[in-house]
Chains A and B, each alone.
Chain A
Amino acid sequence: MELSGGEIIVKFLKDEGVEYVFGYPGGAVLHIYDAIFQQDDVRHILVRHEQGATHAADGYARATGKPGVVLVTSGPGATNAVTGIATAYMDSIPLVVLTGQVALPFIGSDAFQEVDSVGITRPCVKHNFLVKRLEDLAETLKKAFHVATTGRPGPVVVDIPKDVTDPGIKIPYEYPREVHMRSYNPVVKGHPGQIKRATNLILSAKRPMIYTGGGVVLSNASQELTEFTRELGYPITQTLMGLGSYPATDRQFVGMLGMHGTYEANMAMHECDVLIAIGARFDDRVTGKLSEFCPHAKIVHVDIDPASIAKNVKVDVPIVGDVKLVLRDLLAELRAKGKQPDAGALEAWWAQIEEWRSHNCLTYDRDSELIKPQFVIEKLWEVTGGDAYVTSDVGQHQMFTAQFYKFDKPRRWINSGGLGTMGFGMPAALGVKLACPDDEVVCVTGEASIQMCIQELSTAMQYRLPIKVVNLNNRYMGMVRQWQEFFYESRYSHSYVEALPDFVKLAESYGHVGMRIEKPADVEGALREAFGMKDRLVFLDFVTDQTENVYPMIAAGKAHNQMHLAPQCKAPQSSERELA
């Protein structure tokens, strides 16, 4: 079969099993768009801004585990995509981003819409390619998908000069089923000696703690993690990226840890004697002050990326490998040993954890006449049966959702954890809805974040994607305001959002349904009404309390046992218990 470059790209995507390409046309990719026009196998989703394309593809990838695919033009098309690429990079999400480039003879001449896309994206991709010969195109695309989806996943950019897709030049095409790269062979199987050492340490624990991150989700290892955790009976905490990979409604789950983690999770981290870190990378928002991180603990760390191990925190038993395979090996080793954890010590440890938990650190004023954001999330959880796909933007609403929407399944909680990209939530929700048309998909956002990619309401209309938008509208950049209250003596420098649009009318002008909710008593009814409209995008504008803060909070640079707690919570700040 003889095909042009543009046709090869489209045919390859079909052969690779790609359902959707999120993109925006422009000069350098017109040949490719012409090839897209002439087929129905790969569906193209036209966004309104390239950032939206990357976030939508990212949402699709997070919900399905399959790579998200993006197609943008050269120059501004590529630069607009960079925020989304960096977002995916920080959270290890597999994306393949095809960027058009000016024709080869023009590269380096400051041609119209030319930027060095490979250079610009280099620090925020797992790898990138510039295709210089039509003969290399199919194999390069295969390499891009291979690199994006294996090992520690991540975004890969393929920069394609316009003349490489020239419809006048055709070459034979055959789908490259396999690809071999001598320089790229990720280790997936944990070292047996390390598995044994880890098992011994895990069984020796008196005050154990399991701490897991996004790696468990990426590795599809929820079932293995759940089995492992139940087998041991140990407490488990998760990072923002890990939520849902162990059921949040289970007794052994002590909540999220870190800056806005629960009192019980953070106190248990501070006092544990063995920490089992799985698919997590010891991010600064998780560890707090490094020199006081888990001061009493020996640490086991499982991660597929060797560079994540001992990057921020020294560990005692590192295991490089795919989380799913390592957890299976750990479980097999535990069962083969036939030894049980120290039941007496574990009972005492759980008693302590339950005491911490009894302080109910996620308490808030339930009698307020204003709508509390936490209340909206609690009701959202009830109305959706805890089973919706929930995306978010970045800030207070993101933390409230992480704390109050109890995710029992993986891939349900979709947010920008590493880069913290405002504007992520709504386009990501569109990608999720395409992947999961029969599930409820909600974007929880704030009036500041939503405006960063608001134009995608138009995309949602074009493709009839009936997501629900829960806007926690406090007329402030809430998290900025909170930091200014705590650390800048309430000098609210530029965190107040003036001249807000009427979101109800805005939603309506895009052809959607808009609702404004101003009283706590109306919250549940509005949510039920909105979710009752199965085929409509409903934008719920909740007018919330402007002064609400996210608690608990560990200030940057403080240790796990130094938390700001909600005014209603009277838990002691640090444990006075004598440690063995």
Chain B
Amino acid sequence: MRHIISLLMENESGALSRVAGLFSARGYNIESLNVAPTEDPSLSRMTIVTTGSEQIIEQITKQLNKLVDVVKLKDLTAGEHIERELMLVKVRAEDATRVEGFKALVANYGGKIIDESEDICTAEITSDGVTLDRLLSEIDRDDILETVRTGASGIFIGARSLRI
């Protein structure tokens, strides 16, 4: 099953490699991983999307907690949560009708066009991973020049939160 694990860790050099190294050393899957500083400059937030049986996920959370740099951790999938991922997609814009179709599609998914020139068009869309996959499947593969995705971030619904 797919799980989204959100964690706060000390913003120290090498912290990312400890997490990445743990996953490779123990043979766990990583679907995506993102990391960025928080409002507290001493802390980084990392969001890991992984898959595995309940027993594997339990081990992953325990092993992550065991890393000395990890301050706090939650499995978002264990509660009601919102998942968001940012995608940038660049397409060919040589054919005017197809460009209009692309723009309509992006608008339909709540995205916006962020760059447009003679023969290219770039859009920004934020949604959950499944929705982004669906959007991509609606674009002609030959028209796509590039897609850039951040991997999932997530947050609990309501007052529940991961903070120290």
Contacts and interface: CB of A to CB of B under 8 A. Distances in A.
Are A and B genuine complex partners? yes
Given A118-B14, A130-B14, A182 B62 contact: no
Nearest to B66: A307
Contacts of B59: 307, 310-311
A305 interface: yes
Interface in A93-130: 118-119, 122-123, 126-127, 130
Interface in B1-29: 9-10, 13-14, 17-18, 21, 25
A183 interface: yes
A183 B10 contact: yes
B71 interface: yes
A184 B70 CA distance: 8
A306 B62 contact: yes
Contact of B66 (A118, A182, A305): A305
A307 B10 contact: no
B17 A182 contact: no
B164 interface: yes
A310 B55 contact: yes
A182 B71 contact: yes
B88 to A, nearest CB: 31
Contact of B18 (A122, A310, A311): A122
A147 interface: yes
Nearest to B42: A182
Given A122-B21, A123-B21, A123-B25, A130 B68 contact: no
B85 to A, nearest CB: 27
Interface string A280-307: 0000000000000000000000000111
B128 interface: no
Contacts of B62: 306-307, 309
A510 to B, nearest CB: 40
B65 interface: yes
Contacts of A181: 68
Contact of A183 (B14, B58, B70): B70
Interface in B81-98: none
A311 B26 CA distance: 12
A307 B18 contact: no
Nearest to B164: A182
B63 interface: yes
Contacts of B18: 122
B69 interface: yes
A184 B25 CA distance: 22
B5 to A, nearest CB: 15
Contacts of A184: 68
Q: Interface on chain B toward A: helix, strand, loop, or mixed SS?
A: helix
A305 B65 CA distance: 10
Nearest to A184: B68
Nearest to B14: A118
Contacts of B14: 118-119, 122, 130
Interface in B25-81: 25, 55, 58-59, 62-63, 65-66, 68-71
B68 A183 contact: yes
A355 B125 CA distance: 73
Contacts of A309: 62
B68 A126 contact: yes
Nearest to A132: B13
A309 B58 CA distance: 10
Contacts of B21: 122-123
A242 B102 CA distance: 67
Contacts of A123: 21, 25
A183 B69 contact: yes
A127 B25 CA distance: 15
Nearest to B55: A310
A322 to B, nearest CB: 16
Given A182-B71, A183-B70, A183-B71, A306 B65 contact: yes
Pick the most buried of A122, A126, A183, A309: most chain B CB atoms within 10 A of its CB.
Answer: A183
A122 B62 CA distance: 18
Contacts of A311: 59
B9 A122 contact: no
Interface string A141-173: 000000100000000000000000000000000
A127 B14 CA distance: 11
Contacts of A127: 68-69
Contacts of B63: 307
Interface in A196-225: none
Nearest to B62: A307
A306 B65 CA distance: 9
A274 to B, nearest CB: 22
A184 B66 CA distance: 8
Interface in A253-293: none
A309 B61 CA distance: 12
A306 B58 CA distance: 10
Contact of A119 (B17, B55, B66, B164): B17
Contact of B17 (A122, A306, A310, A314): A122
A183 B72 CA distance: 7
Contacts of B10: 183
B71 A147 contact: no
A126 B67 CA distance: 8
Contacts of A314: 55
Nearest to B69: A183
Nearest to A183: B71
Contacts of A310: 55, 58-59
B63 to A, nearest CB: 5
Contacts of B58: 310
B25 to A, nearest CB: 5
Given A122-B17, A182-B71, 6 more contacts: A127-B68, A183-B68, A183-B70, A305-B66, A307-B63, A311-B59
28 contacts: A118-B14, A119-B14, A122-B14, A122-B17, A122-B18, A122-B21, A123-B21, A126-B68, A127-B68, A127-B69, A130-B13, A181-B68, A182-B71, A183-B10, A183-B68, A183-B69, A183-B70, A305-B66, A306-B62, A306-B66, A307-B59, A307-B62, A309-B62, A310-B55, A310-B58, A310-B59, A311-B59, A314-B55
What 5 A-B pairs have minimum CB-CB distances, sorted nearest first? A307-B62, A127-B68, A183-B71, A184-B68, A306-B62
